[in-house]
Structure 1
C-alpha cells in the first residue's frame, strides 16, 4: 500500500473519531479530484464549489461508515461527490447542455457498483485508451452515464434512440471496458 493511501486511510479513520484536523488532511489530499468529479457533472464552477462543501460535510458525518475492505478512499469520496452532484441536478431539474453534435454522458437513477469502479479509474491512462477502443455509441453513452449526470432516459431522448438500445450500449460498453482493463 502506498504511503499516500495509508495517510489518507488514517486521516479518514481519525475524522470518524471527530478529529477536525484529520478532515482538513482529507480535504487537502483529495479536494482537487473530488472537485473535478463534481464539475464534470454540474458544469458550473460556483455550484460545484457549494457542492464540494456539502460533500465534505457528508464526509465529516459519514467517515465512520468508510470500509477500506470495500474499496479505496478516493473511490468512496468520488462516489459521495458524484451522488451529491447528481442529487443537486435532480433537485434543481437542471439539464446538462452540450453543443450540437456533442453527445453528453448519462447516469442511471440507481446506484451501481460500476459507478465506484469508473470513478476510481476515470483519470487513468488505461481507461482513456480503453474508452477509445469502444464503438463510438458505447463510448459516448458511458461518458454521459457516468461523468455528466444524465439518466438513461435523458440520454435516449437526447440521441433519439429507444431506452432499451441506450441501456444495451452502456452495458456492452462497460463489458468492453472491463475486458480491456482486465476487471
Structure 2
C-alpha cells in the first residue's frame, strides 16, 4: 500500500485527468477497498460491480477531494462504503444457479474478478492514454457525464458532426488497442 502522501499526490493527478495516476491509485488502493465492499455485501460478484462504480466516482470527484478534511484513503473508503450500503439496501435479483459457484471461486485474497478487473482497467486506461488529450477529455466527459452528442457539442463549443466523428474515432482506436 502506498503512503497517504503518495495517494494524495495520485488523487491530485487524477483530478487533472491523469489516467496513469488513476491506474497507480487503483493498484495501490483496490485490495483495501475491495475488502471493505466485500465485508458489507458478502457477494464477490456484486462487490466487483460496486467497486467499479466507486472508482468511476473517484475519477469524477477527485477534483473535489480536500486533504484538509479527510485522508485520501478515508475519502475513498467513504465513497466505497456508501455505494456498498446502497447496493446492499437495493432489491437484489434472485441468484442464478451459477452465482454460488462463482462466489465460491472468488472468495479469498486472490479472487479472480478483482484481478481481471485490475487487468482490464489497466488495459483500458493504457488505451485511453494513447488518445490525444482533447479526445481523451471529450470521451471521458461524454462517458462520465452521460452527455448526448448535442449536449457535448454545446458544452465543448464544437459542431455535432465533429463531436460524433471524434468520439467514433476514439472508440475505434480504443477497440483496436484492446483487441491487439
Structure 1-normalised TM-score? Answer: 0.48
Higher relative contact order (CA 8 A, sep 6+): 2
Structure 2-normalised TM-score? Answer: 0.49
